[in-house]
Amino acid sequence: GILVSVMVVAGLPAGFVLRRCLVIAPFLIAALLLPFLGPEPNMAVGPFSVSVEGLWGFWNILAKGGLGVLTSVTLAATTEVPDIFRGMDRLHVPPVLTAIAGFMMRYLDTIGGEVERTRTAMELRGQRSRWLGNTLAIASIGGPLFVRAYERGERVHQAMLVRGFNGVMPSVGDTPISRRQILVAALPTLLAVITTTIAWLTIFSG
């Protein structure tokens, strides 16, 4: 409920969120086998006899996977990439990991452009974009694309070393956190603590 409230406040369309949640669909389909393959004891669910432990396993995957994806979608849709990396620095994530993630985000578009140009060149030479019909031709893109990406990375790394790069990305435009931001960030945590406390009190009092 708290996560849904954050999405509503952020103004995220339901269709936008649901489309990006489809990434966990293969895992959920595989997890559907757990109730039928789990150990005893079993319980009747309609015409089926399913494992209680398997049901709990499926629920754990559904809950944890769903919450993880929803949280990731919300973060990505409401936070700029530089702000995410600044947050990682403030959380004392190892600088090497932050630098690698930063380079990955910066050059995904570049590599995507290389793929698009290669695909256009293939089509100009008579190769159509049919994945099943041109599997070998499409697979042959990987080698040259890797070589070009590697060489580009080498050139960028050498240029950065010349400019004094020491393994830590410099922080640009770092601004202090305001009290309002702290309050907004603490509100979901406070609501979660209150909800959990009420649930525990209800269970133990019953």
d(CA 71, CA 10): 13
pLDDT, residue 133, reads: 53
pLDDT, residue 187, reads: 76
CA angle 130–110–79, rounded 5-degree value? 105
For residues 89, 90, 94, 95, the Cα torsion angle rounded to the nearest 10 degrees is 30
- Burial tier of 107 (Cβ tally within 10 Å: 0-12, 13-18, 19+): middle
Give strand pairing partners of 50: 43
d(CA 159, CA 7): 41
Q: Give the residues of the chain that fall short of pLDDT 50.
A: none
CA angle 141–26–18, rounded 5-degree value? 95
